[in-house]
């Protein structure tokens, strides 16, 4: 496994739209393993392949219950509303208030290409929305209603 470089906000690469994965091969497995290591090292909740320079619909998420791999994820359901404090590994140290669905249901494939469904609430729902946005070239700041100040971030520590 290897730590990959995370592309930062301001790079137009992050606004590209990612392509579906059609080969479930060793190269995909290496990408997923590297993404999980990179996310862990950066202390993140999620990471999309586009953030490490790969324009494929691949996401890893870990809200504290262990890593989840989502390949070609699509929403089946989104319901409710929650106010979130959201950040991104591509925008280090920056956080803003967003609104996201409270509950989501996602259909995705695993690294073998098998389909499965994932239901998430609260932080997991936010992470699914944030990461699937990345696959469509959308960054969290397009959802931010207000960025948090340095003073507010200090209070949250």
Applying CB under 5 A, the residues found at the interface with Ni ion are 88
Asked if 66 and 27 touch (Cβ cutoff 8 Å), the reply is no
Residue (10 or 114) nearer to Ni ion, CB? 10
CA contacts within 13 A on the Cβ side of 63? 12
Residue nearest to Ni ion (CB): 88
Least distance between Ni ion and beta carbon 146 (Å) = 18
| Residues pairing with 58 in the sheet | 71
Planar angle of CA 38, 108, 14, nearest 5 degrees: 45
Picking from 135, 130, 136, the residue whose alpha carbon sits closest to that of residue 99 is: 130
Active site residues: 131
Residue (3 or 114) nearer to Ni ion, CB? 3
Residue (39 or 113) nearer to Ni ion, CB? 39
Least distance between Ni ion and beta carbon 112 (Å) = 26
Strands (E), the chain: 46-48, 58-61, 68-79, 82-86, 96-100, 103-109, 115-121, 146-147
Least distance between Ni ion and beta carbon 139 (Å) = 7
């Amino acid at each position: 496994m290897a730590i990959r470089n995370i592309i930062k906000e301001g790079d137009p690469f992050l606004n590209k739209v990612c392509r579906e994965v059609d080969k479930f091969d060793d190269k995909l497995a290496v990408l997923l393993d590297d993404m999980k290591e990179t996310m862990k090292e950066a202390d993140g909740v999620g990471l999309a392949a586009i953030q490490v320079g790969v324009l494929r619909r691949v996401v890893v998420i870990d809200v504290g219950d262990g890593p989840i791999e989502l390949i070609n994820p699509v929403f089946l359901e989104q319901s409710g509303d929650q106010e979130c404090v959201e950040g991104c590994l591509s925008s280090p140290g920056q956080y803003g208030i967003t609104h996201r669905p409270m509950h989501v249901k996602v259909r995705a494939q695993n690294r073998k290409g098998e389909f499965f469904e994932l239901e998430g609430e609260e932080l997991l729902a936010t992470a699914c929305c944030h990461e699937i946005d990345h696959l469509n070239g959308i960054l969290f700041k397009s959802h931010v209603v207000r960025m948090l100040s340095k003073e507010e971030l200090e209070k949250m520590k």
